[in-house]
A and B are shown apart, each in its own frame.
Chain A
Amino acid sequence: MAELAAQGRSPEVLFWVGCAGSFDDRSKRVTRAFVKILQSLKIDFAVLGTEEACTGDPARRAGNEFLFQVQAINNIQVLNGYNIKRMVTTCPHCFNTIKNEYPQLGGNYAVEHHSTFLQRLIDEGRIVLKEGGTFKGRRITYHDSCYLGRVNGVYEAPRAVLAALDADLVEMKRSRAKGLCCGAGGAQMFKEPEPGKKDINVERTDEALNTNADTIAVACPFCMTMMRDGVKAREKESEVAVKDIAELIAERQGL
């Protein structure tokens, strides 16, 4: 972004990568898959690179309002400094915070989650998926991210993206508004679970495995980690893949 700004240019859309997408090895692959899609469509985008910082979401949900506000106000300074208007992100937690919490602190952006972004590209015919591709006969189940679905009401976009793959979509019993959390929300990602009978991600993974899907599709980096850990706990890594919706589109496109 700094380079574009130095050239006096401003991108059509800013891709907010998020901490997981920047640092977590598995999520970095999602970041790259999404970037490949953007590049293949010659979409004019930029990233903040090293100028990006945590939105503050985990700090806020863990109770540290002060730290959240420091992060938020600093990020808003940077974003407003570059006169950013439109953003897209692959993380529902970043999406929620930027969409619903930054406006109160002076940050107003048209921010989208990559599920709705990809759905629009498909609807507009910019992403063309030819019929009968590699996904014919594959079974995919979509795990709803709480902060995308229940919190922001985005249930259909990720499903529409998956439907375009020409695979068999199967639903878990608890889906959409009743979707069961992966166990990572509310900053649980950053601590061990409290004592209980079962780990939440294993409970959810069992439900996903019960659908006999070969792929568990996710739309959130934390869900990705939790569902992968769940699949590992059930020793199903060789049979069941956990993939972000962007990776599936990139794969289908041969990117």
Chain B
Amino acid sequence: MLVQQILFVIILAATGYVVWRRARGIARNIRMGQGELQTDRPGERLRNMLLVAFGQKKMFKRPWPAILHFFVYIGFLVINIEILEFIVDGIAGTHRIFAPYLGGLYPVLMNIFEFLAVAVLASCAIFLLRRNVAKVRRFWSREMTAWPRLDANLILTAEILLMIAILTMNAADQWLQVRTPEKYPASGTLFFSSMLMPLFNEMSTAALVVTERVAWWFHILGILGFAIYITYSKHLHIVLAFPNTYFAPLKPRGQMKNIEVVTNEVRAMLGLGDAPQTGAPGRFGAKDVNDLSRISLLSAYACTECGRCTDECPANITGKALSPRKIMMDTRDRMEDISRSLAKGGPGLDDGKSLFGDYITREEINACTACQACVEACPVMINPLEIILDIRRYIAMEESGAPAAWNAMFQNIENNFAPWKFPPSDRFNWANEGSRTQ
């Protein structure tokens, strides 16, 4: 037992260290972005987080996947309470340490955990079928290349295996409770795993002990491995959905963020204010991830690639290159590429590449209708439009590279105060034309 205890503590500490290092790296990447994460109006932010992340409010716009997802989510939250017992047992070398203390409550809790385990198992199996057999469109669009598809399948398979481990462990344990009750405290009858008991009927007590231990270790190692894996995966949304909904901008949806430097300059130009302070104004708009706001970068890590944004994007629906999900995936990939480069002593941001150009193309950016369907669709309040508009600002103001038709429109506004080529003196003509046409 002592060997197992030492091993457990070492593995637990190592996992903690790896996860901490990854978390630090991700935080560093997010801090590449502009400005601070906003914390004003904490009441509203807390409300958003509770309703949208904790309460899954926006998921329920599509009820069926929402119900299945809700099982996996609740299962994950609740079964993790059991992990607490696993950890205490693992360190102290005890077995089901909470059973004697909780008395009659323990079997109730265990049965709830088992019910959720079965619900998670079934939901994940249906999710696998939806992805791989029913081939729901949003899981197969262009940006869903080999890795994103594998990532999703790995997660779902891992969850199924972890749930099977819990049920196997409990089934073996219930036999051991019968055969050596002095070592295995009674957990009471567990509805689901007791149905598996006949499978282990023929096993010797020694084999049962091994089965129970293997299942226990498989489950806890699986959970710890999962904790490391999600930091490299789209699945990080299980953690970052919470801060993302908390820090999501509270400004009106129709308001683009103001560029103060431009306001000062325009006011000075129009003789309405003092000349702007000299000094580098920085870059207008975004060419690379470090030009984006921190909330956009946090959002990129919070995205789980569900593709509801892309599914509702009018440009994507009609076959254009734009996919709002890809915008978020590219942003995360760019950050990860930068930190990988830095870890190897490479140039990082200065590798001659940039988010716009090497990851996201002009065609994608130019296809957006700013209709906010993606913003509305996201279950965790990610705003892909913000990134698109930031890049448009870079293209128009730093590169003067907007499409020719837009440059003509700019010129019309500048000269005629209207996006079309009509003289401003004709602006009131509609009033006189009325009597003629009617």
Contacts and interface: CB of A to CB of B under 8 A. Distances in A.
A86 interface: no
Contacts of B406: 62, 64, 187, 190-191
A207 to B, nearest CB: 11
Contact of B413 (A17, A23, A67, A77): A67
A190 B417 CA distance: 15
Given A23-B426, A52-B427, A183-B369, A194 B413 contact: no
Contact of B262 (A50, A69, A183): A69
Contacts of A24: 420
Contacts of A35: 431, 434
A100 to B, nearest CB: 4
Interface in A55-82: 56, 58-67, 69-71, 73-74, 77
Contact of A180 (B314, B319, B403): B314
Interface in A1-49: 17, 19, 21-24, 28-29, 31-32, 35, 47, 49
A155 to B, nearest CB: 12
A22 B262 contact: no
A96 B265 CA distance: 24
A197 interface: yes
B144 interface: no
A69 B394 CA distance: 16
B223 interface: no
Given A62-B392, A64-B402, A181 B369 contact: yes
A37 to B, nearest CB: 13
A218 interface: no
A200 B372 contact: no
A104 B256 CA distance: 10
Interface stretch (B67-75, B323-331, B360-368): B360-368
A54 B413 contact: yes
A177 interface: yes
A69 B427 contact: no
Contacts of B320: 193-196
Contacts of B373: 146, 150, 178, 180-181
A150 B363 contact: no
B426 A64 contact: no
Contact of B363 (A19, A22, A77, A195): A195
A101 B254 contact: yes
Contacts of B315: 194, 196, 200
- Chain B contact patch, size range: 35 or more
Contact of A150 (B285, B372, B410): B372
A204 to B, nearest CB: 8
B356 to A, nearest CB: 12
A134 interface: no
B319 A198 contact: yes
A161 to B, nearest CB: 21
A71 B417 contact: yes
Nearest to A92: B254
B396 to A, nearest CB: 3
B438 A54 contact: no
Given A147-B254, A150-B376, A191-B403, A184 B369 contact: yes
A100 B418 contact: no
A238 B145 CA distance: 46
Interface in A161-204: 177-178, 180-181, 183-200, 203-204
Contacts of A188: 369
B203 interface: no
B21 to A, nearest CB: 38
Given A28-B430, A29-B437, A186-B369, A23 B422 contact: yes
Contacts of B366: 191, 194
Contacts of A105: 258, 263
Contact of A63 (B395, B408, B427): B395
Interface in B325-364: 363
Contact of B389 (A50, A63, A99, A177): A63
Q: Which 4 A-B pairs have the closest CB atoms?
A: A186-B370, A197-B319, A63-B396, A63-B392
Interface of A: 17, 19, 21-24, 28-29, 31-32, 35, 47, 49-50, 52-54, 56, 58-67, 69-71, 73-74, 77, 96-97, 99-101, 104-105, 146-147, 150-152, 177-178, 180-181, 183-200, 203-204
Interface of B: 252-256, 258-259, 262-263, 265-267, 269-270, 272, 284-285, 312, 314-315, 317-322, 363, 366-373, 375-376, 389, 392-397, 402-403, 405-406, 408-410, 413-414, 417-420, 422, 424-431, 433-434, 437-438
8 contacts: A52-B427, A69-B259, A96-B254, A99-B252, A150-B372, A194-B321, A196-B315, A197-B319
